[in-house]
Structure 1
């Protein structure tokens, strides 16, 4: 039986070496110093409608329970695409092939004012259709034509394919509107969750490439750090009815293993600024509004990003809501706090893009 003992010793030594090498090669810089920053917080208690939203989210989780692999991804996509099925839109919707996506244009919108919208869905689900409640509202409050890019999703495509789609869509929008060739006067980039990550990575890329920068950016409950080292990634599992059931189990896995898994899945280190905007330089960025909920797993990712960006001189704001689900803004038709969030975005756009002034002069 000595061989069993030798095998166990070998396995133990292998795991020790594996964990040590992982921390040496992949361990990210410690950003815990940014966790103590205070930001504007909405202190009112959640509305009664919030309970209905939470139950709706939990029902989605129950439908996905026990579904694994490809079937789970397809079920997520189907569920998300159905969110806006009963939506009464005021905007017109026009699909495009190159780049792939759709224009959402509210009555009275100035097509020279443009918003690139990048949907969420964990880089595996979501679409322009699933987020029409968001793009319809954004076109109205921004007095702008919204282009929702239908970027390529994982696992059918690599992560960088989606990144490249967002970059190309932005460059295309600079010279093209819903009516054809026309130079943009105002450019805004907005996105939620995974799309919020793409949004924040895109404005950094535009700065580095010395391309025309967006006039403003909006990130809703963004993923800013794939290293998963922020405290709320673990402490808010129980209070996040959307991300907790979906990703909470991953927190039982050692970080070093998750870093290797992330590296293999995304084909880049989790600390790469392309996947983790927090981990790159945050100077010289445009005015940026971040909205997040205090009970979601990603709140500390948002807090760290805003604090670091402010420390590096960029005008980034973080507004925190109490007790909301992840990306609660998508439930606008039924949730008063979603309307309040869009009012907050409208004021931000008024200040930084002159949306109200445009309304008066159009």
Structure 2
């Protein structure tokens, strides 16, 4: 369908503002730009019962900052389900602060805890640091959930864009390590391929904010060599086996160079016997999850995510 009218207007506003692209900014300025400007177009942060700044284990002994959102007073006799959330940003940008509004929305709307993890970013921390930090955070949560009245048997792993990649990769690593699967993998326009050869990548790689040039720049920040592109911890579509994984709810945007990544991954999961539901949101671009302050379509995505979360945890 045609580009959503509000989406087109936002793109025009961004074009008139002539904001430089991330490659011109460099990683540090790009992070500052996102942390400052993303909340301006996102939904208004909702009130939740409590927000706690905690720390979780990362890869190779690292300590990661994390933010725990609680929808209600913890009841120790009845632990609550929890979404383990990894933000997007091409493994290079994004933070706990830039995704605060999204996490509050999901916490309040789904009535479950959200644990947002500040995994380490490139180029300071190259591949596979983000993937291994995400897996370490899941292991930490399995072990420490009860310390926060959270239910280790009702964990959802989710994220958008690079965070969706990390979520899928974490499920693969957990299976291979013999660890329990989460009850759901919540993948919002995840990157799953390593080489940008899909039809969507070529069709929507110019003019819709997440351009081929920006994607290439993200990958340059994160990857050590071309060989990393073939590693399933970067491109989960290339894993040898996609069976015995948590069911997946996958959302894609119509005007997104990563749209086919989501489609291909859903097909791969379903073919392997892992249930995967694919939902396309028409008329919008990559990143629209965070545009709820100026667009209507993100609210539909939020509702879809929360419905999938509640169904998977039976709350």
TM-score, normalized by length of structure 2?
Answer: 0.85
User: Equivalents in 1 of 2:32, 2:84: separation in Å?
Assistant: 23
Q: Which residue of 2 aligns with 1:79?
A: 33
| Residue 287, structure 1, aligned to residue 247, structure 2 | yes
Q: Which residue of 1 aligns with 2:204?
A: 236
Q: Which residue of 2 aligns with 1:265?
A: 224
Runs of at least 5 residues in structure 1 that lack an aligned partner in the other structure: 1-42, 252-258, 356-362
Q: Which residue of 1 aligns with 2:8?
A: 51
Structure with the greater alpha carbon radius of gyration:
1
Select the residue among 40, 51, 57 that pairs with 1:93.
51
User: Equivalents in 2 of 1:93, 1:231: separation in Å?
Assistant: 42
The 3 A distance-change label for structure 1 pair 284 and 185 is: closer
1:109–1:144 contact (8 Å) kept in structure 2: no
| Residue 150, structure 1, aligned to residue 118, structure 2 | yes
2:171–2:246 contact (8 Å) kept in structure 1: yes
Aligned residues: 300
- Equivalent positions of 1:323-338 (< 5 A) are 323-338=283-298
1:306 to partner: Cα distance = 0.8
Q: Which residue of 1 aligns with 2:236?
A: 277
After superposition, the C-alpha distances for 1:67-103 in whole angstroms (9 at most, x for unaligned) are 63xx421222012212226833312332223342111
Q: Which residue of 2 aligns with 1:128?
A: 96
| Residue 197, structure 1, aligned to residue 162, structure 2 | no
Runs of at least 5 residues in structure 2 that lack an aligned partner in the other structure: 57-63
RMSD: 2.9
Q: Which residue of 2 aligns with 1:103?
A: 68
User: Equivalents in 2 of 1:109, 1:339: separation in Å?
Assistant: 27
The 3 A distance-change label for structure 1 pair 118 and 58 is: farther
Q: Which residue of 2 aligns with 1:8?
A: none
The DSSP-based 3-state class of the residue aligned with 1:97 is strand
1:287–1:316 contact (8 Å) kept in structure 2: yes
| Residue 300, structure 1, aligned to residue 260, structure 2 | yes
User: Equivalents in 2 of 1:337, 1:108: separation in Å?
Assistant: 31
User: Equivalents in 1 of 2:198, 2:93: separation in Å?
Assistant: 24
2:183–2:312 contact (8 Å) kept in structure 1: yes
Higher strand share: 2
2:110–2:307 contact (8 Å) kept in structure 1: no
User: Equivalents in 2 of 1:283, 1:109: separation in Å?
Assistant: 35
